[in-house]
Every structure is written in structure tokens, then in C-alpha cells.
Amino acid sequence: MKSKVCRQMLFRFIAVSLMSAGFVQPSGAAVISSQELIDAEARSDRIAKIETVLARKEVVEQFARFGVSPEQAQTRIRNLTDEELVQLEGSMASDVAGGDALATIGTVFLVLLILELVGVTDIFQSI
């Protein structure tokens, strides 16, 4: 009697095993090139640099004023393409906090000169 129960359990196990054998998914492993690995590491480095800047207290406060949470900003940064990341990183490196001082001085001088020529002010009277 015991052998009959064992035999039935064995047949059921074999039947379930054979039925589920068709559900095995093949793996998609492939060899990647060195350039792909370098590109992936460069992308992760760019994202890390940008996230470091975005993690600063002032930036987080400004995001809060605009209604953007830090998690949303990180998600958006990670969804950027490689070209967009390079462009963003380059603009962050070249932009000066507070703007370009020389351009600001030039703009103020130009406004004062126009006001002087129009006759609104007499700034350059003593010169």
C-alpha cells in the first residue's frame, strides 16, 4: 500500500516537472565591449556628479519652492540621454554662481550711458 502511494506521488511529481519544463526562460547573457563598459561607467560618474550638486541644501530648498522633490529630480536625471547628461554637466561646470560679473558690469555701464545720452541723468557731469 505504501509503495502505491509513493508511486502515485512520483508520477505526479514527474508530470508537474514535465509540464513546467516548457516555461524555462533562456538567459540573455552577452559579451559587452570595453567601450560599452567605459561608456556605462562614464554615465554613472556624470550622474553621480550631478546628483552631488543637486543634493546641496540650497538646491534642495529651491526645488522645494518649485514643487519638485529630490526623488523626482534624481529620477529625471537618470532618465536623461548621454548627450543631455554631457550638456548638463558642461553647463554646470561653465556657469558661474550668480552669473558673469563682467557681463553684469558691462550691462550696468551700458544702461548708465544710455540714460546719460538721453538726458535722464547727469552721472558723467564731473568727468
pLDDT, greater one: 87 or 20? 87
Task: Give the end-to-end CA distance of the chain in Å, rounded to a whole number.
Answer: 120
Q: pTM for the complete prediction?
A: 0.51
Looking at residue 101, what is its pLDDT?
Answer: 67
Window from 57-61, 68-72, 83-87, 104-108 with minimum mean pLDDT: 104-108
The runs of H, that is alpha helices, within the chain are 2-20, 34-54, 57-66, 70-78, 82-94, 101-118
Backbone φ and ψ for 102, nearest 5 degrees, come out as -65, -40
Measured CA to CA, the distance from residue 102 to residue 9 in angstroms comes to 86
Do residues 73 and 63 lie in contact, with contact meaning Cβ atoms separated by under 8 Å? Answer: yes
Radius of gyration in angstroms for the set of CA atoms belonging to the chain, rounded to a whole number: 33
Over residues 31-75, the pLDDT tens digits come to 889 999 999 999 999 889 888 888 888 888 888 888 888 888 888
Among positive and negative, which fits the CA dihedral 43, 46, 52, 58? negative
Do residues 50 and 85 lie in contact, with contact meaning Cβ atoms separated by under 8 Å? Answer: yes
Mean pLDDT of 98-106: 69
